[in-house]
Amino acid sequence: MRTVAVIVQDGFTPFEFGLACEAFGLDRSNDGIVPFDFRIVAPEPGAIRSNLAFSINVEHDLAFADEADLVVVTPVPKSTWGTIDPRVAGVLQRAAARDAWVLSVCSGSFVVAASGILNGRRATTHWMYADRMAAMHPEIDVDPDVLYVQDGRIITSAGTAAGLDACLHLLRQELGAEATNKIARRMVVPPQRDGGQAQFIDKPLPQVASLSLAPVTDWMVQNLRQDLTVDQLAAKAHMSPRTFARRFKADFGATPAAWLGRQRLIHAQRLLEKTDLGLDRIAWESGFGSAAVLRQNFARTLGTTPTAYRSAFNCRTDSVETQPELVA
């Protein structure tokens, strides 16, 4: 992925637009990341009004989007959700036909839906509007309980900040975990946020007491090789297993097992990128036990093999570690 086009139309939302610019538009050459050819495009170049009473000047029309490896769609006003500019529809249809990436942020999914390329696919949008999307587009399988959905090379995201989760998810596939972690650190956000929209619907923000689980999750990450059980983790948190499991799901949006599995996969990705360890050793270091189980998790979650992932994202040089400190 080398070229990125962000489509803006009148009434665009600045925050969601800014997420796309932050994720794909900044020059991160100093971090060893090759910058994208990034352009903001519109059906009619010129002044494009935001929904907050200011405009931006867009220099490029949609021609660049027809060549871009990634087309990002930002939200438009609710009053336009039932229609779509035919020029934008054509860009999205051609992008899908040539197997380019298409990513929508928040209610930008309504634009993608109106183009028809989500028909027969899974998608998501902000939880407040999921029912409306399902009613308007019964041919789409709308999932209201997730932060983002990838179906093929089309990614739709939930409300606002979930758009950043979707951007990082795509960057992880294209650049690898190590580079994406650098980008996330620069943004001061977690590189991978587990959970779904359910944790944000009609619930208050977690209480400060939820920080009591931080020592347990830190310990989990430091002991990925161990066979960790809920009983063992609950004991460390000084809770009953039932209370611990309920608290963990409420705070992290995932079960302890699912969260732990994700941390193991991230660690395996890093070892594949940064070391020359064999698959059996990486599986053991990451807590998967065997290369076969490691391959199963890669296939199920990332849609690739560990060997293919290493070929695509190996970033070892003489100046980086080739072997981590390992304890037999």
pLDDT by residue (tens digit) across 94-129?
A: 999 999 999 999 999 999 999 999 999 999 999 899
Q: pTM for this structure?
A: 0.69
Does 226 share its domain with 170?
no
CATH number at residue 292: 1.10.10.60
Among 238, 235, 275, 231, residue whose Cα is nearest residue 257: 231
Cβ 13 vs Cβ 106: under 8 Å: yes
> The tokens of 211 are what?
């920080």
Cα distance between residue 291 and residue 296, in whole Å? 9
Residue 176 lies in a domain: yes
Does 111 share its domain with 233?
no
Does 312 share its domain with 264?
yes
Cβ 102 vs Cβ 90: under 8 Å: no
pLDDT, one tens digit per residue, over 183-237 is: 888 887 766 665 555 434 443 334 434 557 888 988 999 999 999 999 999 999 9
Does 238 share its domain with 327?
yes
The H or E element spanning position 244 is helix 241-252
Does 52 share its domain with 146?
yes
Residue 196 lies in a domain: no
Residue 193 lies in a domain: no
Cβ 140 vs Cβ 123: under 8 Å: yes
> The tokens of 123 are what?
């998608």
CATH number at residue 86: 3.40.50.880
Does 214 share its domain with 171?
no
pLDDT at 154: 97
Residues 6+ apart with CB under 8 A from 44: 61
| Mean pLDDT for the stretch of residues 23-39 | 94
Does 181 share its domain with 243?
no
Does 125 share its domain with 228?
no
Query: Side-chain half-sphere of 213: how many Cα atoms within 13 Å?
Result: 21
Q: Which domain holds residue 100?
A: 3-187
| Domain-terminating residue out of 187, 219, 241 | 187
Structural domain count, the chain: 2
Cβ 268 vs Cβ 295: under 8 Å: no
Cα distance between residue 291 and residue 178, in whole Å? 21
Does 229 share its domain with 150?
no
pLDDT at 191: 64
> The tokens of 24 are what?
């794909």
pLDDT at 303: 77
Q: Burial, 218: exposed, middle or buried (Cβ in 10 Å; 0-12, 13-18, 19+)?
A: exposed
Residue 202 lies in a domain: no
Cβ 76 vs Cβ 12: under 8 Å: yes
Residue 52 lies in a domain: yes
Residue 261 lies in a domain: yes
Residue 147 lies in a domain: yes
pLDDT at 325: 44
Does 140 share its domain with 213?
no
pLDDT, one tens digit per residue, over 266-305 is: 899 889 988 999 999 999 999 999 999 999 998 888 778 8
Does 14 share its domain with 152?
yes
Does 120 share its domain with 237?
no
Evaluate if residue 181 carries a pLDDT over 80.
yes
Residue 204 lies in a domain: no
Cα distance between residue 202 and residue 186, in whole Å? 31
